[in-house]
A and B are shown apart, each in its own frame.
Chain A
């Protein structure tokens, strides 16, 4: 186990007991599709139409409970502008789930999903869980990408799909829960496979090299 775990102070024990798993999720997609708003809706359950544009990277923590397990989600919010990609892709490593967001009122953001998928392929861990998220589905009058189109793209790339609205809150919780559930299932099956191997199971939930990686190892 990491060196940080060795120095367990009373606070650290409390912190360790607070959750069963810690997962790192990532929000990516073009500038202005509403990544920050989605995260804000999920974490604070409210809506603010004008956030300062995310510069570089930011993250929020939200704890959810699924099947009796407390899961701490570390959700990373990234800048969408093209020129920040070289910087943001550095933080893909260690992510266990990635939410790809586009805006149903903007064709361009939908078309760019293919590029974002390429980024994932190049920079994220293999087998990372992915979810295609169509945001702003409340704006029916401005919609240019139908639900079917989104669904089709998701099927084409073999990933899950959901439509939601950060403004009304529709399906936002559902999106993050679905992702958390998928990561959890995958993680648990990996864990039991390890146990079956006879190896002493140690929960390292993120690769040790990732930023903050050592802290992530402390969850068990």
Chain B
């Protein structure tokens, strides 16, 4: 039986006074689905049904179908049970949040409660299954809400599907890059689709990201009443993340007149924060198409935002150079003994070089990597040459050497008075008094 057919047949069934018959029917339908494992039918009809609202008891059957969990299970090397066993000791950050995910729910109040136990297993298994994502606060709420309507194993697979397939890239990553991109994307959408709101936000300097972060991190679970959370997720599972933006825009659009009538920015801000609560009070029907969002428009914006973000570090790097780095620190070396003084001078030069390196976002080591240069055979070495001005006495034998007007190659000038040189004419290495040498131009070999 197809997904749409199930929703329709449920809708057709009349709810009885006590609701038991209806519930019973749902269960039989559910089991027929499970045995069927038919891949999801994709149609505008299903989309329409989902947007109109799925009967409350049905989410649990529809979610695994929408996510195609049977194929996820076959594709995975490990079963959920094995993942649970392999996930190792519980993550500390997860432990901290277990009682803070759904504290008002009967099953999530104490550590030994059933819901909390499941939540711990699912979160740690997600961690094991998607190791490069890591645990992010907000996932707890997502999984918690799924556990209320699904079996633990299905809740796990649906969560994995949402995190890895529905959410934009790097959404819950270490730096929350994806999430921040979506924050900017929402602001851009407001600018384009709701110019009056945009003007209000700009004029009053109201920062919508303060409010929207909660909407986005929890996919509205942190703000909307549960029934409405599932309404949003129904559509999200089918249409993808665009549904979340549609929801945000719907809220803003619906209350636009009220918002821009706010006399002060803090009233406006408070009003914005209260929007999800208001929609419950006003018993609103969520219209996911009140503002049409095309998938390619979102992709286009995302690309634009990320390419901008990629350039950002350069700007940041320059800002990070503090005044202290540029202003020479006044130091008094006069009353230090010579070697201390020398060390101090060297240190301050080092600090200056360091500041320059930091300016170019490199560490001193990278900047002055002598070792790498020396090992590279292709690097041209600078050869110093000098002209011999007069004859001189050989250091060892005392004989007079006549190299006057010859050009020699200086091999070592570490000693102040005698430099080691190689004569071009006879190829011999000798010590030359530096006083009779005159350096000629550099030549590269």
List chain A positions with a Cβ less than 8 A from chain B. 3-4, 7, 9, 11-12, 15, 31-32, 50-53, 55-58, 79, 81, 83-84, 86-87, 90-91, 208-215, 218
Contact = CB atoms under 8 A, between A and B. Distances in A.
A210 B206 CA distance: 9
A211 B212 CA distance: 14
Nearest to A5: B264
B137 A4 contact: no
B257 interface: no
B217 A11 contact: no
A81 B266 CA distance: 27
Given A55-B217, A212-B269, A50 B103 contact: yes
B207 interface: yes
Given A7-B263, A15-B264, A211-B205, A50 B99 contact: yes
Interface of B: 93, 96-97, 99-103, 109, 134, 136-138, 140-141, 172-176, 179-180, 203-207, 209-210, 213-214, 217-218, 222, 263-266, 269
A9 to B, nearest CB: 6
B180 A53 contact: no
A86 B207 contact: no
B266 A212 contact: yes
Given A53-B97, A53-B101, A213 B137 contact: no
B263 A11 contact: yes
A56 B264 contact: no
Contacts of B263: 4, 7, 9, 11-12
Given A50-B99, A56-B217, A212 B206 contact: yes
Nearest to A90: B209
Nearest to B212: A56
B175 A83 contact: yes
Contact of B264 (A12, A81, A90, A91): A12
Given A12-B264, A212-B205, A52 B210 contact: no
B214 A56 contact: yes
B213 A87 contact: yes
Contact of B218 (A4, A55, A87, A212): A55
B213 A214 contact: no
26 contacts: A4-B204, A12-B264, A15-B264, A32-B96, A32-B97, A50-B99, A50-B100, A52-B100, A55-B222, A56-B214, A56-B217, A58-B214, A81-B93, A81-B137, A83-B134, A83-B172, A83-B173, A86-B176, A87-B179, A87-B180, A91-B210, A209-B205, A210-B205, A211-B269, A212-B266, A212-B269
| Most A CB within 10 A of own CB, among B99, B109, B209, B264 | B264
Nearest 8 CB-CB pairings of A with B: A56-B213, A211-B207, A50-B103, A53-B100, A32-B96, A215-B266, A215-B265, A55-B217
B140 A53 contact: yes
Contacts of B179: 87
B97, B214, B266 — which one has the most chain A CB atoms within 10 A of its CB? B266
Contacts of A214: 204-205, 265
Nearest to B218: A55
A40 to B, nearest CB: 13
Contact of A211 (B138, B203, B210): B210
Contact of A81 (B136, B209, B213): B136
Nearest to B213: A56
Contact of A87 (B100, B176, B205, B206): B176
Contacts of A50: 99-100, 103, 109
Contacts of A51: 100, 103
B214 A55 contact: yes
A88 to B, nearest CB: 9
Contacts of B96: 31-32, 53
A58 B269 CA distance: 12
